[in-house]
Structure 1
Amino acid sequence: MKIQNLELEFFLEKNNISADDWNSSDIEWQTLMDIGIDHQSKEEQRKETAELFARIIQRCSKVHSVRWRVKDSEHLMEKIVRKTINGADSFNSDYIGINKDNYHEIITDLVGIRALHLFKDDCLEIDSYLCGIWNTKEKPTYYVRDGDETKDELEQFDVKQHPAGYRSLHYVFESQPLNQIVYTEVQVRTIFEEGWSEIDHKIRYPNFSDNPQISYFLRIFNRLAGSADEMGSFVKELVNEFESTARDLEAVKKENEAFKKENDKNIAEIDRLFTELDSSNGKHQSQTNLIKDLKAQVEKLKAQTQNSADKVHITRHSTGSGKTTTTSAHLLKLLGQYQYNAEVEQKSKRPTVKPKSVKKT
């Protein structure tokens, strides 16, 4: 409907504004008409602004979908009336003196964008994305419901409890695509919260806003939407935990494969050393007993390694320096030390050849 053809009585009745409220408002009908007509004439320009914002926001990987709208002219006029009713809860002193020339600077949601996301914590990455592109007119507002927990990472927001229970992030961005500054309101919320708010807006606003039974039902619905968001976050964390566990198991498997390979290599070297020691001469009974004990340990180690071939575990030995190694590697080290000591011992027992004395003639 053309605003030029709008009559006051029809406007008040259609928008559920009483005669008392109209008389208490600080706005003249002609001024209200001029604002409505001007906004309607700029509708196409503001649609282009909305489409530009929507395209840019949709590029963010955490954004599931984007909705946009340009405020309806009659809804704009109705909002101005309610904001100028003296003594009403909706009264806003910023609207005093509003007119055709300054309304676009006072009303910040002429262009409205909704960026929807799946998981609650996605909003933080979306926040970084948005604030890296546009300048905010004011500090972003994080609306929560009474009883919601707030986190430390929300300190960059102005956290407020919404009287109707809305949960969302609100931004007012400033841009000037044409010859006039335009303020664009961007709301960031989850899909579940969007579903609840849409139903709440359709049912509650404006005719059932004071109905206690409707309000009670919508509060229950609001809690269900919040629970759905919590479930979504929980499922996401659960999947991340499963994936992390799978990565850890794969890492352990690869590590144990490397340990098993090292173990097999060490056992082969131990066998070689035993063969070399067995073939050596001059062994004492103590050496024979030690070699016998070492062989028993190696056979036991081989059996353990064979029995645990299909398990993601292999016996390790602490070196005392914070490092771990396979038992075979430790045994190989001991055996090598033993061989070295045995060689030193054998050398020390060789008879010393004294030089013959030379007789003088």
Structure 2
Amino acid sequence: MIDYGIEIIEKKIREKLLNELTRTGLLFRLFSRIKDSNSISDKFNRKNYSEDDKLMQDLIGFRIITYFNDDLKIIVDLCEKLFGKEELVYDEPDTEIFRPLRKNMVCKFPKDQGIYFGEIKATNDEFQLIDDTFEIQFRTTLSEGWHEVDHLMRYKCKPDWSELTNESRMLNGIYASLETNDQALKALFDDIAYLHYRAKRWEAMLRNKLRLRFSLQNLDVHIVNYLNENSEVGKNIFKLNRNDIISLYINSTLSFPTTFDNWVFYLNFYFINDEFILSKTPEFLKNEFQLCFE
């Protein structure tokens, strides 16, 4: 049975991670787990852990599932900024060899949780081969199911597959099709954003270009009318690089509700500099933008 203190550590880290992910406005799901005693014993039997060498690093594990594959790198960078990293495995595609791409990060417990874990470890023999770290795995929605099947049905029983070369290739091939579909999904929504831009459907353009968890609050009618009459401003917004503007926001101290108005104000202040939209921007937001800009 897992020490209750470990549950407290998991909860504290999860809250910190969830708050920061929510601030981004990105579309994601967050899962967490603590290894139970059986899982710990099973991993000890499969791995050669030693107090003088390598310790188990994933007593606590988190998995972040993004809806779109281009958000993976953004969230990896966010987690590294938030916790630092002990190890990062971030496979890039290889043009010559196909294999499932690993995207895992190992981080130290935050200071307070690290001290608490040290106290727990000092009184629990079961934790002597466990490090004061946790693991974060990064997946897309489409690849998540495949990874679950692969982990349980192949990774944990490798001898079953020792002579099944063709079958192993087929399983990898299923992953390849999902990877292609991830790319196609992003491209589809890019195309949809363009169609809405051409039709001057500004809310729909913003929703499909930025792919954030927007609230149901409509874009200010005065801004809609202005963009309808000044399509060059709408064009400039559409042409912005989506990942650059989101990364800038995430790496700042900005934090505002994910509404269409707020994001138009933000994009205009940093990138477009249109006087009319600036005049519609609330003073408290302009002050926050200015403070972050300086």
Q: Following the alignment from structure 2 to structure 1, what is the Cα–Cα distance between the partners of residues 190 and 2?
A: 51
Structure 1, residues 57-107: CA drift from partner, whole Å, max 9, x if none?
A: 3342335212211123233233233333xxxxxxxxxx3445xxxx9x821
1:179 maps to 2:116: yes
- Residues 1:82 and 2:32 are matched in the alignment: no
Check the 8 A contact 1:62/1:126 in 2, yes or no. Answer: no
Question: Is the partner of 1:184 in helix, strand or coil?
Answer: strand
2:78: which partner in 1?
A: 129
> Where does structure 2 lack aligned partners over 5 or more consecutive residues?
119-131, 201-225, 232-294
- SS at structure 1 position matched to 2:180: helix
Equivalent residue number for residue 102 of structure 2: 168
CA 1:184–1:96 in 2, change beyond 3 Å: closer, same or farther? closer
Tell me the equivalent position of 1:143: 91
- TM-superposed CA distance for 1:46, in Å, is 1.8
Contact 1:172 1:185 in 2 (8 A): yes
For residues 106 and 216 of structure 1, what CA distance do their matches in structure 2 show?
A: 35
Residue 63 of structure 2 contacts residue 137 of structure 2 at CA under 8 Å; is this kept in 1?
Answer: yes
Find the counterpart in structure 2 of residue 67 from structure 1: 31
Evaluate the alpha carbon distance shift between residue 75 and residue 145 of structure 1 in structure 2; reply closer, same or farther with a 3 A threshold: farther
Counterparts of 1:142 and 1:169 in 2: how far apart (Å)?
Answer: 4
Amino acid paired to 2:16: I
The 8 Å contact of residues 86 and 107 in structure 2, kept in 1 or not, is answered as yes
Code of the aligned partner of 1:143: D
Aligned to 1:220: 170
Normalising by structure 2, we get a TM-score of 0.52
Provide the aligned length of Structure 1 versus Structure 2.
Answer: 186
- CA shift, 1:169, in A, is 1.5
Alignment correspondent of 2:251: none
1:263 is aligned to none
Q: Distance in 2 between matches of 1:81 and 1:216?
A: 29
Distance 1:253-1:129 versus aligned 2 partners, 3 A rule: closer
Measure how far apart 1:222 and its partner are: 3.1
Instruction: State how far apart, in whole Å, the 2-side matches of 1:169 and 1:234 are.
Output: 20
CA distance in 2, matches of 1:66, 1:46: 18
Q: Give the CA deviation at 1:240.
A: 1.8
The alignment status of 1:119 with 2:40, answered yes or no, reads no
User: 2-side partners of 1:56 and 1:67: how far apart?
Assistant: 13
Q: Bigger shift: 218-227 or 191-200?
A: 218-227
Q: Secondary structure at the match of 1:133?
A: helix
Q: CA deviation at 1:147?
A: 5.0
Letter paired with 1:239: F
CA 1:130 to 1:76, structure 2 compared with 1: closer, same or farther past 3 Å? Answer: same
Q: Would the alpha carbon gap of residues 216 and 246 (structure 1) be closer, same or farther in structure 2, given more than 3 Å must change?
A: same
Return the letter of the residue paired with 1:53. I
Q: Tell me the amino acid that sits aligned with residue 141 of structure 1.
A: V
SS at match of 1:132: helix
Tell whether the 8 Å contact from 2:7 to 2:34 is kept in structure 1 after alignment.
Answer: yes
> What CA distance in whole angstroms lies between the structure 2 residues aligned with 1:235 and 1:135?
31
* CA pair 235-137 structure 1, distance change in 2 beyond 3 A: closer
> Counterpart of 1:49 in structure 2: which amino acid?
I
Alignment of 1:201 with 2:151, yes or no, is yes
Identity percentage of aligned residues: 20
Residue 172 of structure 1 aligns to a residue in which SS? Answer: strand
Matched, 1:57 2:6: no
TM (norm. structure 1) is: 0.43
Name the structure where helix makes up a greater proportion of residues.
2
CA offset digits 1:125-183 (Å, max 9, x no partner): 21232122112123x1113676589xxxxxxxxxxx9xxx4423111111242523531
Q: CA separation of 1:217/1:64 partners in 2, compared to 1, >3 Å: closer, same or farther?
A: farther
Give the secondary structure class of the aligned counterpart of 1:170: strand
Q: Which has the higher contact order (CA 8 A, sep 6+)?
A: 2
SS class of match (1:77): helix
| Structure 2 counterparts to residues 1-361 of structure 1, below 5 A | 40=1, 42=3, 44-59=4-19, 60=21, 61-62=25-26, 64-84=28-48, 95-97=49-51, 106-138=55-87, 140-143=88-91, 165-175=99-109, 176-177=112-113, 178-180=115-117, 182-207=132-157, 209-211=159-161, 216-248=166-198, 250=200, 254=229
CA contact (8 A) 1:53 1:113 kept: no
In 1, the alpha carbon distance for the partners of 2:137 and 2:45 equals: 24
> Counterpart of 1:116 in 2: which secondary structure?
strand
